[in-house]
């Protein structure tokens, strides 16, 4: 566990803290009235955590900085042990062509959980949702028709990362079709 004296003596730990000295651990209480767009820019975010995390090499001389990073991640709820606040997103793919197309592929090192998906079509195209690694596909669901909702909860938890991501395979597509999926980052 990081101690003040150890962090003061460690060069990497001091560097981390100097970059974060203007950040707050989390958002202000709702009683302040500062919510959403009104919240201060000083709130420590997952992006802030990623920036400092990527500056530390895994080596013995950095053990104190790694302990400090772990403490910061836990106290600010930006370390992946479940859904990370403020990381939800909705991805949409609109297409008029057939074939397999990527809906959402996270950045390297990120993991997202898919929470819902739906399709919409002006035509009766067949749309197959897949987990895809660029070569092999695992089918999540297939629908032909207009405005179909996929329920990923019936499949169990669906995770996507940079290696295995969400794609849609369109066939018999003769007009505009769309796939929409929602995600939340878990790491």
**Tell me: the pLDDT tens digits for 131-148?**
999 999 988 877 766 555
User: At 120, is the secondary structure helix, strand, or coil?
Assistant: strand
Residue 154's pLDDT is 62
pLDDT band at 184 (very low <50, low <70, confident <90, very high): very high
Element at 14 (helix H, strand E)? helix 11-20
Residue 92's pLDDT is 92
> In this predicted model, which residue has the larger pLDDT, 79 or 121?
79
What CATH number is given to the structural domain containing 116? 2.60.120.1010
Residues 87 and 46: beta-carbon distance below 8 Å? yes
Residue entry with tokens 């990623």: 50
Residue 131 lies in a domain: yes
- Within this chain, do residues 18 and 61 fall inside the same structural domain, yes or no? yes
Tell me the C-alpha to C-alpha distance, in Å, between residue 49 and each of 92, 112, 114, 173.
27, 16, 22, 42
Domain that holds residue 99: 89-185
Q: Write down the mean pLDDT value for the chain.
A: 79
Query: For 76-112, how does the pLDDT look when each residue is reduced to its tens digit (9 = 90+)?
Result: 777 767 788 889 999 998 877 778 899 999 988 789 9
What total of structural domains would you count in the chain?
2
3-state helix, strand, coil in the chain (%, to 5): 25, 35, 40
- Within this chain, do residues 59 and 94 fall inside the same structural domain, yes or no? no
DSSP letter for 90, please: E
Give the whole-angstrom CA distance, residue 15 versus residue 20.
9
User: In 65-111, at which residue ranges do the beta strands (DSSP E only) sit?
Assistant: 89-95, 99-104
Given 75, 106, 124, which residue is the final one in a domain? 75
Residue 51 lies in a domain: yes
The whole-model pTM stands at 0.66
């Amino acid at each position: 566990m990081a101690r003040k004296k150890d962090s003061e003596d460690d060069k990497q730990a001091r560097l981390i803290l100097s970059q974060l000295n203007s950040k707050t651990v989390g958002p202000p209480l709702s009683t302040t009235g500062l919510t959403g767009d009104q919240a201060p820019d000083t709130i420590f975010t997952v992006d802030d955590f990623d920036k400092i995390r990527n500056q530390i090499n895994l080596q013995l001389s950095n053990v104190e900085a790694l302990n400090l990073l772990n403490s910061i991640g836990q106290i600010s709820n930006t370390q992946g042990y479940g859904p990370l606040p403020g990381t939800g997103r909705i991805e949409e793919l609109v297409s008029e062509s057939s074939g397999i197309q990527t809906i959402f592929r996270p950045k390297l090192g990120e993991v997202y959980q898919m929470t819902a998906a739906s399709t919409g079509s002006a035509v009766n195209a067949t749309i197959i949702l897949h987990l895809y690694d660029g070569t092999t596909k695992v089918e999540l669901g297939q629908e032909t028709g207009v405005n179909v909702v996929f329920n990923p909860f019936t499949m169990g938890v669906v995770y996507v990362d940079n290696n295995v991501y969400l794609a849609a395979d369109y066939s018999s597509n003769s007009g505009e079709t769309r796939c929409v999926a929602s995600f939340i980052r878990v790491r």
